[in-house]
Structure 1
């Protein structure tokens, strides 16, 4: 489809040529001003006829061919802009390193290399502009032959969507609730889902990924029956990892290997009568599993009597009744409207629903779209749209899909189509998906809006329009990952016309040993025996994901060298195979913006990596053998995300990190320690963080105890990083007594931003946590203290009014948790002048490895007494105490919290004995605690409570 890429390229062209003054000067020097004006005119002519061409492309081959040409030249223009921008950027970076440039001296007179580089830039710009014009002239001339009608097109706007909108649109349907209850119940062991193929699969997928279902089964297996004579594909989604393929003859044996002594859920998707006879014995495999195991059959086979005979339970997926159709549609489309509005739109809505042919997904998509159409005229335009005349038998999809798709803004359409690179059923991480959109340039053209924020808006927009499903969420209720409905995935692949493909490298498929030139995004699945990769000399390739069915497959260095020599235009590169070494040829990937090396066994990154001036995201998470980063990291001035969690072998950060002022993510900053063999000239200090004020998410300062002078911490100016939400402070594991005062001074000097939400302090050697800035964190929701062995007293954490979870581990010098912990003065009053509620929002409290802890006191002032009444922990839901061997008792008032639902004790012999002695006395007072677990055994309730 061309209508997505053309507006995008026009925006890029306008931004480069008409907005940025520096680029105008370069083009003026190149002498191509008139050619630029001609490109602008041609582009406007093409944009004007796009809506008409879009409406006619499904019926007219000539129009479709013309749009393909428009698309190809648009991509070529985009590549030309990237090449030009990279040359300009390289000249700027090299110039910034020259001492005279810093004095604002014109680079033409600095040195011959600057002069010739600038002349080369002007020359190549002129060639680029003239070539674009020649190609556009041909496209515009052909446009007239097709009699395309011009119209005034306006770009659709993104609605700002709230989290409540997201939850409402993607709520569970009734059939899913029924299926989930059957899977969790003790009834039928074999269930058949009969009727509409895609809707049956969608229903089972939603139930299959339900959090309660995941917890209920120790093993989940999804089997796709391909329908060929001798093969079926078995997809195992728990510990075994990637899918495997077997024949019918070894199917049962393979399944039995995975389900033996497991409580399993086995799904047989797209089952036919022929498969039933070949796999009949599969229904006896359930004997190999634990009680409660389930088999689910999905079938649309009309000859389904056999399934009715062998199934204990049947759920029919039929077309919805008229009443059910209208109920689903009106719930979405009329949400938030007045009764008068609903009445005025009812007649039009009923006509639209009748055209959805009873397909629940189609009704959901249409209802989600019309929800945001505010006037009768907008609804009428949807009803009268020519797209309804499309024949599903010719295009393969209902008109509803096209209507909803073309109603999206063009940039959001590009983002949706990109998702076709992932296999069906793939769980897409939201943050990584947004970074991939960034890498393709889909998010960088809106003025004054950060790409990450814009990506979140695009993502939410696709969610509200029902393009995504099967969401996983974090503790805040924010979506972290999602999937695409199978039918919607097919639609995305149809739209991109094989621009996104998946190739399984196999000797049995010699015709697929090379990648078509028109492929833009490729998922390459290697075999265990692969000694080479297919010919990736695809000139347009922009995304490459390499995976393998063998989790331990290593990609040889010579293969990587071969790859990197052919990927000059690639923007995103991800390895799901092991790589031992990154060759220097990676510097050739000059357009690379996203590089995912997470989990690799590399020890060093080449210096040529720093030639990737366009790089935005570098993920080295779990590269635990990586010993150092390249010294020239400061050249990566476009880097926005350096994700380096769990890189335990890194001992310092290279000089130049402070130049990366675009950084939004820096997972860990490692403070170099004296005597670790790192020269001071190679390692940067904390002060380098001074200007990195765009950091967000969580920042971990590892090795803070290595700081020699407290002034270094002050110069970091942590308080200016106002959008930072999490902070981890890891001192040294060194237990020297003389470091106590030093660590206390360092902690006081930190002064993080006051709106911090998460704080994690480890290996701190001070004697107290009490610091003014800790108690001033009014937005702090999660606090963890760990391995702080010298601390003898806990601070008044009860005064942290936003705190929701508190984890304290191995504070081994604490003998008594007293009133100071709660925030109570010696006279029994709250030490906080603003509130008499202590821990007002705390839901989760955990103590671990407190080997000296003996007493837990709480002097509560009750109602009716002369002094103020104090309320404490009114929201506490879970209390865990582990390996606190000397603790004698818990405060009775704490156990009697009405909200407390879970109590867990482990390795606390004195406390356990205390409970056993007084169990009859305590039991009636703690009826509200539904789950009690002591030393690994459930005394009350169980894992399902």
Structure 2
């Protein structure tokens, strides 16, 4: 960690000095000299840090020296950040003073030092000078401390690092990840485990039947359990399947909550253990239940007894798998079967290692390195995680010299077998650049088995200053590369990927890797709950996740951790945050996840260093104006929990460094119309703006659609709400959506129609003027009141894959068949449509001649799913297909897999072209006329659909009353997933 801190400080010092020279101002007397001296000391220290950081693992004195260096570097970083914040605030004040009536000018990114104008009051000038004098005094004081630390280094005789240039971070390749899903040396164990789960053998046993997998960390217990859990036969065999990571300590309420949440797919309101267990009993009564308890340490049978009694009601054949490092755990839980996992053979260990290390490598090069590879495998001591980690490291080492250097490294000196995994992890860790080490170590602040969001990590790493932008590459792209590198090095696993491009959205960290991260960030990163009392060690804590359960006393000793840079606060009680906000002035990251967070205190302005603010389940009516003083803020994320939230602060345009503004409605469909204040368009640093509400009313305080004009760095998703009758085509054109080429998803929501014909025509003009970027992949249009929908730009969307249209006043559907990449179309509520004909297919499109001189016209060439819901006046669906007219051959929907028709009460028939589609599934819900005409064998429409393997003909036996509501929820969830996917894809 120290190397990264020192490197960052040197850059800041040089930048601060250069900034002052560029602006031709004098810093406070004496500061220039202190900065030059400090920079020289840091360069001297940096030359030995590589050796010092490796030696700290085994030498306590070196570790203490590094801790002192870390602490003073953190303090110096805070002081310099305070100095730069003063400069930013001065620039904002100057901008405010110089604003004139038509000042829609964008704030410049490079701010200038502000010398107070005569109009400023004398008191303000004195106050500013006093603050800057205090900062200068702090710099001088810290410089003295670093001077002492620099002299102290000589007693340790550190080896000098000749090359002081930072390591080059290798950019991930397109074939980044190696498939290591196979298990080596465990096939028979896996087959036996699956057999036991499926009930092979005697059924005369206690229910549920408990199976324990026992072995040391990193030996593959969890991997084996995952393979069995995800086996298709196992998945089909059990009615309820639950996976819970238990870890240490065994928290009964937490485990019970996770079981219940997994069953109900929502967070339970209950908090008492008895109530939770009673509800679990009701849910699993008489059902075949499969539970995996991963990483159990609890050795007290009394703690397990309530669960054992609650699960007795499961059906015969229910199973529980327990993974643990301790044999006694298997015993106290009453395991019927215990499998002790042994170390892998050298041959199997080689299989794991070589598959990764020699991936995509020249055979001749492999031959030259294999003898060294076998020696490395010997050092893995039969642990598959060690072989995987080491293989991931050696994959990037090309020469024999590099391999020999790793083999001879003194980090192999770990003797404890249980901790022998730390050797390959240490080798991989110290092979990283210092920013990457910082990024990895930061992950220790999260608890074990935490599901990381790649976006969340990217934004948090940026907030901590680990990511430095380059001239030709944005911070987000660099941070995403860092994440990919750490994933390739096996520091992350259990990936959830974006379906479209296989980029990682979510992942986990192996518990041994998490232990190692904690070791590398000892006394800096902590993840605790209120059952653990904060001790003196937390006084130098930098990153803390604190979870406080309901009816638990707040641990006031947390206030001793005055140097916190990260506070992730999860609580279930009504704590007064105002007290909390008087402390922790050094915070870069603040995440508040409370039980109905009702208000953000004005004291939030105290966090002048804050870069990342996350408010979960926020139920206030808005944000305080004081939040606008957080001039360093980069990410503001608000998960809104009620319809009380109405407006944003008027001064939000002062957040000139804001890059990501995320509003999430927590699946509460409240139809909010949040007031965005005038001047929002000055936030030209914005990259993420997932929701934007506009006003066309003559209100000087509210934002107009045209304020989007200069926000051309936006990417991912943009949801524009409030396209009402007051919005005109001129407003829409001023938004310049077509220039926002990073957008992949666009959601346009008009206001409800009041029946005026002039508004219908106005909507058509507005939609035409809202020309999106041509590479758009997802488009949703809702509450559109125009009689037709055929804007000039629609047919140019050659990359559009998904189109949702809802609550329409259309009389005819647009010619969507022309869009070449369209895969999914959903049309929801279009009460004026009576007929769908060839215009929907767009068959007037020009085709291409084939060898037989016939022109083939393909409509919807890539469409896979088509859905119509609530077209209640729809009577006819006509079309052509599989036919030839003169020199024309028609091909309609050649890839269609799923067709759904719901609540189309008057629809009588289906088009002929369905005969030639490869349809696999047809759903017809609450459309009685069509349902009757599609009866198997006898219906008039049956010949058109007889080839479809899956037909929903059981409507009368099922309750379909909520079918469309469920489908709408799935659509909305899909929209949210798409938003996340777009963000990940851009990063």
The answer on 1:148 being equivalent to 2:166 is no
Within 5 A, what are the aligned runs for 1:627-642? 627-642=646-661
Three-state SS of the structure 1 residue aligned to 2:344 is coil
Distance 1:750 1:359, change over 3 A: same
The equivalent residue for 2:904 is 884
Kindly state the Cα deviation for residue 515 of structure 1 after the two structures are TM-superposed: 8.0
The answer for the alignment partner of 1:297 in structure 2 is 322
Q: CA separation in 1, counterparts of 2:400 and 2:453?
A: 38
**Where do 1:351-430 residues align within 5 Å?**
351-392=375-416, 397-430=421-454
Name which of 547, 552, 569 aligns with 2:570.
547
Alignment equivalent of 1:138, drawn from 133, 148, 151: 148
| CA-CA distance at 1:854 after TM superposition | 2.1
State the alpha-carbon separation in 2 of the partners of residues 827 and 85 from structure 1.
Answer: 61
Q: What CA distance in whole angstroms lies between the structure 1 residues aligned with 2:84 and 2:42?
A: 20
The equivalent of 1:843 in structure 2 is: 864
Q: Rate the CA distance shift 1:163–1:808 in 2: closer, same or farther, 3 A.
A: farther
Structure-2 separation of matches of 1:751 and 1:180: 57
Give the alignment of 1:520-599 within 5 angstroms. Answer: 520-530=542-552, 532-537=554-559, 538-548=561-571, 550=572, 553-555=573-575, 559-577=576-594, 578-599=596-617
Kept in 1, the 8 Å contact 2:249–2:298? The answer is: no
The corresponding residue for 1:765 is: 785
> What residue in structure 2 maps to residue 98 of structure 1?
97
Residue 394 of structure 1 deviates from its aligned partner by: 10
Distance 1:309 1:82, change over 3 A: closer
Deviates most, 401-410 or 708-717: 708-717
Q: CA–CA distance in 1 between the matches of 2:59 and 2:590? A: 37
**2:846–2:857 Cα contact (<8 Å) kept:** no
Deviates more, 1:728-737 or 1:925-934: 925-934
Aligned to 2:49: 50
Query: 2:713, 2:302 → 1: CA distance?
Result: 62
Native 8 Å contact 1:828 1:859 kept in 2: no
1:664 aligns with 2:687: yes
User: Is 1:608 paired with 2:626?
Assistant: yes
What's 2:88 paired with?
89
Query: What per-residue deviation string (whole Å, max 9, x for no partner) do you get for residues 881-937 of structure 1?
Result: 221222223335436533x33332221222222221536995997566357565387
Distance 2:791 2:721 in 1: 20
Q: Is the contact made by 2:356 and 2:395 (CA closer than 8 Å) also made in structure 1?
A: yes
Q: 2:486 pairs with 454, 462, 467, which one?
A: 462
Q: Per the alignment, in what secondary structure is the counterpart of residue 364 of structure 1?
A: helix
Match of 2:5 in 1: 5
Which residue in 1 is equivalent to 2:356?
332
Aligned equivalent of 1:107: 115
Q: 1:229 to 1:459 in 2, by over 3 A?
A: closer
Q: Which consecutive unaligned segments of at least 5 residues does structure 1 have? A: none
Residue 288 (structure 1) aligns with: 313
Q: Decide which moves more: 484-493 or 52-61.
A: 52-61
CA distance in 2 between counterparts of 1:547 and 1:716 reads 39
Kept after mapping to 2: 8 A contact 1:392/1:398: no
- Which residue, out of 871, 874, 884, partners 1:853? 874
Tell me by how many angstroms 1:490 deviates: 1.1
The Cα of 1:668 is off from its aligned counterpart by 1.7
Q: Which has the higher contact order (CA 8 A, sep 6+)?
A: 2
Give the secondary-structure state (helix, strand or coil) at the position aligned to 2:3. coil
CA distance in 1, matches of 2:751, 2:194: 50
Aligned mates of 2:451, 2:702 — CA distance in 1: 39
Partner deviation per Cα, 1:566-621 (whole Å, 9 max, x = no partner): 12111111122122122211111211211111321111211111111111111123
Distance 2:311 2:660 in 1: 47
> Secondary structure in 2 aligned to 1:462?
helix
TM-aligned CA deviation for residue 747 of structure 1? 0.8
Aligned position for 1:690: 709
1:257 deviates by 5.1
Q: Counterparts of 2:756 and 2:230 in 1: how far apart (Å)? A: 51
Q: Deviations over 1:200-248 (max 9, x none)?
A: 543267459859788975452537386999999554352464899999x
> Tell me, what secondary structure is at the counterpart of 1:574?
strand
1:748 has 2:768 as partner: yes
**1:431-510 alignment to 2 at 5 Å?**
431-476=455-500, 477-506=502-531
Three-state SS of the structure 2 residue aligned to 1:918 is coil
Over the aligned positions, Cα root-mean-square deviation in angstroms equals 3.8
**TM score, norm. by length of structure 1:** 0.88
Deviations 1:466-485 (A, max 9, x none): 11112222332332211111
User: 2: distance between equivalents of 1:827 and 1:120?
Assistant: 75
Q: Distance in 1 between matches of 2:548 and 2:762?
A: 54
What does the per-residue CA deviation read over 1:774-813, in whole Å, with 9 as the maximum and x for residues that have no partner? 111111111110000x201111111111112111111121
Q: How does 1:209-288 map to 2 (within 5 A)?
A: 218=240, 220=242, 222=244, 224=246, 234=256, 235-236=258-259, 237-238=261-262, 239=265, 241=267, 256=281, 259-260=284-285, 264-269=289-294, 288=313
Within 5 Å, give how 1:306-321 maps onto structure 2: 311=336, 317-321=341-345
Mapped partners of 2:25, 2:128: distance in 1 = 9
Counterpart-to-counterpart distance in 1, 2:958 and 2:197: 20
Q: Deviations over 1:84-110 (max 9, x none)?
A: 111111111111112299999973544
Structure 2 counterpart of 1:778, from 789, 798, 817: 798
Deviation at 1:733, TM superposition (A): 1.2
Gaps of 5+ in 2: 106-111, 202-207, 960-965, 967-987
> CA offsets, 1:417-444, max 9 Å, x none?
1111111111112212211112111123
The answer to whether the Cα contact below 8 Å between 2:921 and 2:948 also exists between their aligned partners in 1 is: no
Q: In the alignment, does 2:537 pair up with 1:512?
A: no
CA distance in 2, matches of 1:772, 1:704: 19
**Aligned residues between the structures:** 918
Residues 182 and 569 of structure 1: CA distance in aligned 2, closer, same or farther (over 3 Å): farther
Moved more, 487-496 or 221-230: 221-230
Paired with 2:845 and 2:267, the residues of 1 have a C-alpha distance of 58
| C-alpha distance 700-393 of structure 1, shift in aligned 2 (>3 A) | same
Structure 2 CA distance for partners of 1:891 and 1:161, relative to 1, 3 Å: farther
Tell me which residue corresponds to 2:971: none
* Alignment match, 1:913: 932
Contact 1:208–1:214 under 8 Å retained in 2: no
Which string of whole-angstrom CA distances, capped at 9 and with x for unpartnered residues, describes residues 381-427 of structure 1?
11121211233369675311100111111111111111111111111
Report the more deviating stretch, 740-749 or 266-275.
266-275
Contact 1:595–1:617 (8 Å) recurs in 2? yes
Q: How does 1:155-174 map to 2 (within 5 A)?
A: 155-162=166-173, 164-166=175-177, 168-169=178-179, 171=181, 173=183
Mapped partners of 1:318, 1:931: distance in 2:
50
Q: Deviations over 1:837-895 (max 9, x none)?
A: 322222222111111222222212547x6423333333323222221222223335436
* Matched-pair contact (CA < 8 Å) for 1:439–1:572: yes
Q: Does the CA contact (< 8 Å) of 1:604 and 1:626 recur in 2?
A: yes
Query: CA distance change for structure 1 residues 370 and 756 in 2, over 3 Å: closer, same or farther?
Result: same
Q: Is the 8 A contact 1:523 1:545 kept in 2?
A: yes
Aligned to 2:639: 621
| Between 109-118 and 1-10, the greater mean CA deviation after superposition | 109-118
Separation of aligned partners in 1, 2:309 and 2:688: 52
